Amino acid sequence: MPEMPEIQAHAERLTDDFGGTVLERFQPLSFTALKTAAPSPEEAAGHPLADVGRRGKHLLLRFEPVTFVVHLMQGGRLRPDPKQAARPRGGQARWRFADGRALLLTEAGTERRAGVWVVAGDPLTQPPLDELGPEADALDRTTLGRLLAEHPMRLHGWLRDQRVVAGLGRRLANEVCHRAKLSPFASTAKLDDGAVDRLHAAIDECLAESLAVERTRSDMSSSKERPGAVHHRTGEPCPVCGDTDRAVEYRSYTVNYCPTCQTGGKVLADNTTSRFLK
Ligand SMILES: [Zn+2]
């Protein structure tokens, strides 16, 4: 799933390309795309796109009367739509502008989880954004320490929980744990001050590095094209210590880590394998 750096860089590109352009109309292309009944998306027609912002992993297309909150989920993409086909593949919704251009929301696969919320007033205080935790790149050291203690969880899951901290996903959770030299399964309530210091620095560094890379691209890159030390690198040597990167597999995602850097050399039981051994 696209995380904060990909979404932020994409929001900046969309603002550069479409900011100030007047909306002609919003057109839902599937029954599941529009998640709100009111206000009507038609309220934005005739108004210029003020800008495209971001909150967590959501894109915010801001028009003066209403904001479109777009969640891409796993397979969603929001891209310029030069063809404007009647039934585009995976098409969910289209914003057609008065200058003849359009933006198209598509979703690959059959899950149909990407969506558009239309909200009037401050979008940050309404669903789906009102339950998000603070932005990951805006956390000071004190707030981070407090949130870790207040929400005792395994670190990898904590980093991915959007209600605690917004913007990180599976890839950055893997990279942040590795950078901080912490086990992905460490209990957040038991981290000492040194660990919280390292975690704070790791979140800042990993986000800043990823954002710098995404800003050099012309579209959202795929996960495998992004730089990293452990994510999607099972069996490869750790760039820090040379040990072999390992994985703990879950049904829908993989936790990657380096034993020497993160778990005192201990190889963690692979979920998939250990289930068969029981
Ligand atoms: Zn290592």
Nearest to 63 by CA among 10, 26, 28: 26
Collect residues with CB below 5 Å from ion ligand 1. Answer: 238, 240-241, 243, 258, 260-261
- What is the CA(265)–ligand 1 centre distance, in A? 9
- What is the CA(233)–ligand 1 centre distance, in A? 12
Longest dimension (CA), the chain: 63
- What is the CA(243)–ligand 1 centre distance, in A? 5
- What is the CA(64)–ligand 1 centre distance, in A? 49
Q: What is the pLDDT of residues 30-52, one digit of tens each?
A: 988 999 999 999 999 999 999 99
Q: What is the pLDDT of residues 162-184, one digit of tens each?
A: 999 999 999 999 999 999 999 99
**What's the CA gap between 54 and 187, in Å, rounded?**
30
Q: What is the pLDDT of residues 90-116, one digit of tens each?
A: 999 999 999 999 999 999 987 778 999
Nearest to 128 by CA among 175, 182, 168, 166: 166
DSSP state, residue 142: H
- What is the CA(240)–ligand 1 centre distance, in A? 5
User: So what's the pLDDT on residue 57?
Assistant: 97
> DSSP string of 147-163?
HHHHS--BHHHHHH-TT
Q: What is the pLDDT of residues 150-163, one digit of tens each?
A: 999 999 999 999 99
- What is the CA(257)–ligand 1 centre distance, in A? 8
Q: Check pLDDT > 60 for residue 24.
A: yes
Q: What is the pLDDT of residues 217-275, one digit of tens each?
A: 998 877 667 889 999 999 999 999 999 999 999 888 899 999 999 999 999 887 655 44
